[in-house]
Structure 1
C-alpha cells in the first residue's frame, strides 16, 4: 500500500468515526443543519490538507473544532450572508431528534444568543473544553471567553427562567 493510500485510509476512518459528532458541534455553533453540513465539509477539506501534520500530533478534533468555529464566524461577517435564501416554511430544516421538552427549550434559547456567545457555550459546555482551550479555538484571550460565557449564561438563565416559573407554580399547587 502506498503512503498516499495509507493517508487516505486513515482520513476516511477518522471521518467515518467523527462525522456525526462534528456535525452536532457545527449545528450547536450555527443553529442550522444545512449550514452545519457546509461547515463540516469546509472543516474536513482543510483537515485533509493538514492531515499528515495534524494526525501525528493526535489533535484532529481540536483542529476541526477550531476550523468550524472560525469558518462560521467568517461566514457571518460576509455581507451577502445577511440575506436569507429560500421561503419561510418551504425550505424545511432537518427534523430535530431531541425527545425532551427541556432540550428543545435549551436549544431555542441557545439560538437566541449572539454568535460569539453561542460558540463559547458550545465549546465550554457541549465539547467540554477548558477556558484556555476554548480561547485557543476562538482565537481570543481567556478573559474574552470568560466574559462571553458569563453573558451567555445570564441570557440563558433569563430566557429559561420563564419556563421555571410555570414549573414552580405547578409544584406549589
Structure 2
C-alpha cells in the first residue's frame, strides 16, 4: 500500500472518533474541525516515519491534546465573568439542558483538566492510558481529575449526582484490571 493510501485508510478508520475528541476538547464545531485538520496535516508530513508506530490512534490523540493545549495557551481565555449568573428555570431532569450545562462547565475547566475528563470518563480510558496520551504521570492524571470533578461540582451543582465520586475506587486503575 502506498503512502497516500495508507494515510487515507488511517483517516477513514479514525476520523469520526478524532473529530468527536476534538469537539469535546474545543466545544466548538469549527474549532474542532480546525484542530483535527492541523493534527492530520502534521501527521501526513511525518507519515513515512509514523506508519511504523503500533498505535497510530493513540499517537493522533496525544498530538491532538498537545495541539489543543498549545492553542489555548496562545489564545488566552475568552471567558468573561458575570456578576449576575443566569436564573435556572428548568428541571434538572431535562437531559438536553444537562448536556448544555455540562458543556458550559467543561469549557470553564483548564485545557489539561478538560483533556483528562474527556479522555478518562467520556472515552473511558484507564489512568495509565490517559497518562501515556498526555505524557504525564498517573498521579498527575488522578489529581487533575480530582480537581476537575470538584470544579465541575462547584460550577454546576445539578450535575453532581451524575459525576463520578471523587474517591470512587471503581474508577481507579486497580479496579479496572
What is the TM-score when the length of structure 1 is the normalising length?
0.72
Q: CA RMSD in A?
A: 2.4
Larger gyration radius, structure 1 or structure 2: 1
Higher relative contact order (CA 8 A, sep 6+): 1
Alignment of 1:6-155 (within 5 A): 6-78=2-74, 81-82=75-76, 100-155=96-151
**Consecutive unaligned residues in structure 2, runs of 5 or more:** 79-94, 162-177
Contact 1:27/1:33 (8 A) holds in 2: yes
The structure carrying a bigger helix percent of its residues is 1
TM superposition score normalised by structure 2 = 0.71
Tell me how many residue pairs correspond in the alignment: 145
Post-superposition Cα deviations, 1:112-166, rounded to whole Å, max 9, x if no partner, equal 211111011011112222212212222222211110100111122233324679x
Contact 2:102 2:159 in 1 (8 A): no
Please say if residues 39 and 72 of structure 1, whose CA atoms lie closer than 8 Å, have aligned partners that are also in contact.
yes
Q: Verify the 8 A CA contact 2:98 2:159 in the aligned structure 1.
A: no
Between the aligned partners of 1:162 and 1:103, the Cα distance in structure 2 is 11
- Cα distance in structure 1, aligned partners of 2:114 and 2:144: 9
5+ residue gaps in structure 1?
85-98, 166-173
Q: Matches of 1:150 and 1:25 in 2, distance apart?
A: 21
